Amino acid sequence: MPPRNPDVHALLAEYQRQYGQLSQEAIKLIQKYIDEGMNVEAAVQKALTESDFFSHNEKATITAIIASVANGYGQRPVDPITVRQVLLHKSWSPDKMNLSKRLHGVRGEMRQTIIDSISTSMRLGKGWTQTARDLYEGYGYGKKIAQAELPDYMKRLVDQSRKVLAGDRSAMDKYLAAIKQAESQIALLASDGAPTKSLKAAFSELLEATKELNQKALDKAIMVAVEEKSRYLAERIARTEISAAWGDGFLAKHRADDDVIAFRWVLNSRHPRYDICDIHANADLYGLGPGVYPKNKFPKRPAHPHCMCLIEPVYAGEIDIDPRKEAEILNNAKFNPKAMEKFLEKLPRDKQLQLFGEYGLKAWRKGEDWRQYLRLWEGHADTKGRLDPESFVAKSAEPSIIKLRGDYSPAYEAKLLDAAKVLQDNGFIPREHALNRIVGRIAQKRLPDMDSIIAVALNGYTYKTATNSLAKVKNGISVHFNEAGEITTVTPRKNIPDTWEMIEDD
């Protein structure tokens, strides 16, 4: 089995755990507001706002990404402010969209996914309840069926509805067809006799069961919408950006290492299907061995959303080439398109189809260039990541903020150091003055808590102040930064001064 990076998967698992906690709070609030009579859109919007769902999710995502950088390099960066800014605002992907914009942009998609899923469930539930009510109340106004059990068409409706409720998506078409059939049977009922008591009782039970089942279906739809459908969108970003950040840390450490002569693409052990990653890992395109690339020519990574493939350093002497000519061979190594052609030709047709699709495979087999049709092919480029090694090189034994200069009581000093650690764990370096302001104003209840301050520092609106410093502002809090990116103070803020200028994040 191919190797995997257990630390990166542990980071993703921790993110998933935090998302699960967020989703439970949102689910309870959505259920509450729908039960109170709100329409779906209003209930979802109010629940997500009240729980601060998106801000908390983005904080968890960024925390995992910064930790992944440290995992890739092998130690935490000593310049976390710069690292965080680079990861948020510098794009690595072909669409040129940075993480900050990606996180903000997915909010609407997640919100609409939740609304659509719940609305669909409620529409189906209302239609099913009305069908059962019509059967119960309108039975007898048509053809008399004198048997004390549900007709076959109602049995089919109940059967298919249970399958849909259990999550069987393939049953949806049959369920909708069963509703139509039941409705048409109701229309044929004639008023030539009243239903028997036992039959009426059966329909009464069906109606009550339908109401109960609809509530369960709605509760499940809310859970699925938040826990599964919207989680997929959030996790797609988290998983891919965690992988990209790991690569940035890895490259920052190994690219400048003279003992590392090449890089090897390694498939993630959980790689689900045959795709471009299998080519990156198995094709010998430079004559250096399967999946081995010169340090300045490497496939774009991650290769696709959810890609968690790894990079391995290849050290001098590990490639099966004449060591006396190693430097010359590496310096002159060039991409060999014919080697790719031969690699693709040897693959079985089912794998070729996964790589090209039906249309692309036909075009390639007719002699057209495979590069025009190979899915997710982006060529090879310089492996320089987004981060410089200097972000990880210690300039002193420990951050200066830990060495407090003031004369404090042991209890108060402990509070200052606790606040400093929370900020540093989230990628921020505070000045001692800022720590005093934070601890003092929280004690005075002028600021809410550390989580709220972190949320503003991560996701607040950016302003240039009258003194040309930067401030992040949101929810009645402003967090101020100096030119070095250090937090200088945190204040309550009801109104934005006229002299401040809002800055759009790049």
Tokens matching residue 124:
């189906």
Would you mind telling me the total number of residues written for the chain in this entry?
Answer: 506
Question: pLDDT (tens digit, 9 = 90+) per residue, 246-296?
Answer: 999 999 999 888 888 899 999 988 788 899 999 999 999 999 999 999 988
Residue 143: what pLDDT?
35
Distance CA(79)–CA(262), nearest Å, equals: 27
Residue of higher predicted confidence among 83 and 151: 83
Radius of gyration of the CA atoms of the chain, in A: 30
Closest CA to 111 of 25, 233, 240, 235: 233
What's the pTM value of the predicted model, to 2 decimals?
Answer: 0.65
Give the residue carrying structure tokens 């990076």.
5
To the nearest whole percent, how much of the chain has pLDDT over 90? Answer: 42
Q: Which residues pair with 502 in a beta bridge?
A: 463
Residue 146: what pLDDT?
34
Question: pLDDT (tens digit, 9 = 90+) per residue, 235-245?
Answer: 999 999 999 99
Give the residue carrying structure tokens 């900020």.
423
Question: pLDDT (tens digit, 9 = 90+) per residue, 470-505?
Answer: 899 999 999 998 877 889 899 999 899 888 988 875
Question: pLDDT (tens digit, 9 = 90+) per residue, 205-220?
Answer: 555 656 666 677 778 8
Residue 198: what pLDDT?
45
Instruction: Provide the mean pLDDT of the chain.
Output: 82
Closest CA to 10 of 68, 76, 55, 80: 68
Distance CA(210)–CA(216), nearest Å, equals: 10
pLDDT at 46 over 60: yes
pLDDT at 384 over 50: yes
Spell out the domain ranges in the chain.
255-381, 400-503
Distance CA(363)–CA(98), nearest Å, equals: 35
Give the residue carrying structure tokens 């950016």.
462
Q: What is the mean pLDDT of residues 2-23?
A: 82
Question: pLDDT (tens digit, 9 = 90+) per residue, 337-357?
Answer: 999 999 999 999 999 999 999
Residue 106: what pLDDT?
92
Which residues, 6+ apart, have CB-to-CB distance to 469 below 8 Å? 480, 481, 482, 483, 488
Residue 145: what pLDDT?
34
Report residue 394's pLDDT band, with 50, 70 and 90 as the boundaries: low
Tokens matching residue 63:
């925390």
- C-alpha 308, offset from chain centre: 13
Question: pLDDT (tens digit, 9 = 90+) per residue, 112-124?
Answer: 999 988 888 777 6
Angle at 198 between CA 194 and CA 202, to 5 degrees: 100
Residue 352: what pLDDT?
96
